[in-house]
A and B are shown apart, each in its own frame.
Chain A
Amino acid sequence: MILNVVNRGLSVGFIEVTGVAVSSVLLIGDCDHIAMGSIFDTPPESLIVGTEAGLVPLSPE
């Protein structure tokens, strides 16, 4: 397959972003290849109740 891309004029007035977070990209330009991945884990067992100040050890995962 042959893909022909013609980039004509690109003019943006104003960009307002609150946050770019956890494997994200805000790119003003060209790029060949982007790969972004993330894992976020808040399992129920990550809720700890008690006055013990330690964080570990908990069950791995």
Chain B
Amino acid sequence: MVRLSMVDDVKITAVVSSSNFQIGDSRNVNLITRVLAVQKEVSTYQGHEGDLSIFDIYKRDVPFPSYKAENLQVNFHNEVPVIKVGGLRVISVASSSLVQIGSTESIIGIARVKHFRHYAQVPSGFRMRPELTIPID
């Protein structure tokens, strides 16, 4: 039914944050990740930062394209039942991502990323709009 995947050579440097590198067939792949990215000018931490529950982004639904199920019959005929790849080079697989050599039935991936920048003082040449920022000291 499904085709055979043949890859001669693979090199992957990094697989991080709810990601997967799979060799072989699978049925269902579910990848879910929640990221709070903080970019700090001065790297100081108090130890209690990062409460995800106060941010709405981690609770709201992720939009997926919807489609109406219609009467659709798809027939596959694999005349050559092999997918051949000479070489595969990937530097990084990150945040609910998948690299798979093989076949699967279903893949579901959800990634929620919220990003902060934290400066010690206003960067030079940067025009601050006070109504848009929250100075907290």
Contact = CB atoms under 8 A, between A and B. Distances in A.
Interface of A: 1-42, 44-61
B120 A31 contact: no
- Sorting the interface of chain B by its residue count into under 10, 10 to 19, 20 to 34 or 35 or more gives 35 or more
Question: Majority SS of interface residues in chain A?
Answer: strand
Contacts of B133: 44-45, 47-49
A2 B111 CA distance: 35
Contact of A51 (B92, B120, B128): B120
Contacts of B106: 31-35
B84 A12 contact: yes
**Pairs of residues from A and B, 7 with the lowest C-beta to C-beta distance, nearest first:** A50-B137, A55-B49, A37-B62, A52-B137, A23-B109, A38-B111, A29-B103
